[in-house]
């Protein structure tokens, strides 16, 4: 049986490496050497190897035995596929909670979108991504479907790398308006409209970023 210590170290390595890939610290094409990463993170090679294998399964790392391990390139088709999956999961959430969102949940979505708008205006990509996560996390949490939440967590990093480009482009202001449209549709308990806006939001990513 795996010890708790090893499990925590593996998760720590995974979280830090995934974060560095998503925020661009580890750029596409960067070679990933377990010995160097272990030294930089202050960990042994075992959790690093486990983390790299997990990241490879998520499409963020690619490995050729006896040759290389590196960060994958951001490929438009893969982003499109991941965005379609995320759109479907968030669409299920929106559809299932449209008639029961509370005043508090809606207000928290509005506050998150206000932070998103401010971050976009400041061109603070990290803050924009965090606030965008908050906007979409509220209906997802209200839905309460563990499988949907796990799927979102699985595919979000791939899309986040492309969103870093979107949220520094002139198109970012449209995302603010789309969030507003989604919130107002939910406030009006207009299920069809909310589902339609959600679909537009996730389609917007692929059509707005030139990869």
User: pLDDT tens digits, the chain, 211 residues: what are they?
Assistant: 344 355 688 888 999 999 999 988 999 999 999 999 999 988 889 999 999 999 999 899 999 888 899 999 988 888 889 999 999 999 999 999 999 999 999 999 999 999 999 999 998 988 999 999 999 999 999 999 999 999 999 999 988 887 776 676 667 788 999 999 999 999 999 999 999 999 999 986 655 555 5
Decide the pairing of beta strands 68-71 and 61-64. Answer: antiparallel
Buried b (16+ CB within 10 A) or exposed e, 138-177: bbbebbeeeebbebbebbbbbbbbbbbbbbeeeebeebbe
Residues 28 and 118 occupy one common structural domain: no
In 135-175, beta strands by DSSP E: none
Provide the domain limits for residue 194: 76-208
Residues 116 and 20 occupy one common structural domain: no
The pTM of this model reads 0.82
Residues 63 and 80 occupy one common structural domain: no
Cβ-contact 181, 199 below 8 angstroms: no
Q: Residue 4 and residue 131: Cα distance in Å, rounded?
A: 32
Residues 119 and 202 occupy one common structural domain: yes
Residues 91 and 192 occupy one common structural domain: yes
Pick from 71, 97, 122: which residue ends a domain? Answer: 71
Residues 142 and 82 occupy one common structural domain: yes
Residues 191 and 150 occupy one common structural domain: yes
CATH of residue 185 = 1.20.120.530
């Amino acid at each position: 049986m795996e010890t708790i210590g090893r499990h925590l170290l593996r998760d720590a390595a995974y979280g830090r490496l995934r974060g560095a890939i998503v925020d661009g610290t580890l750029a596409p094409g960067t070679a990933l050497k377990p010995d160097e990463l272990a030294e930089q993170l202050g960990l042994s090679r075992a959790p690093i190897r486990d983390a790299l294998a997990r990241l490879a399964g998520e499409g963020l790392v690619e490995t050729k035995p006896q040759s290389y391990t590196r960060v994958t390139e951001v490929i438009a088709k893969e982003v499109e596929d991941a965005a379609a999956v995320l759109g479907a999961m968030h669409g299920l959430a929106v559809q299932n909670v449209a008639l029961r969102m509370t005043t508090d949940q809606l207000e928290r979505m509005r506050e998150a979108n206000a932070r998103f708008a401010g971050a976009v205006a400041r061109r603070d990509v990290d803050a924009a991504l965090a606030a965008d996560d908050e906007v979409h996390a509220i209906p997802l949490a209200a839905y309460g479907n563990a499988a949907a939440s796990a799927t979102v967590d699985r595919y979000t990093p791939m899309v986040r790398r492309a969103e870093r480009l979107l949220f520094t482009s002139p198109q970012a202001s449209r995302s603010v308006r789309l969030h507003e449209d989604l919130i107002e549709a939910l406030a009006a308990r207009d299920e069809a409209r909310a589902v339609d806006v959600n679909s537009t939001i996730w389609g917007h990513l692929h059509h707005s970023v030139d990869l």
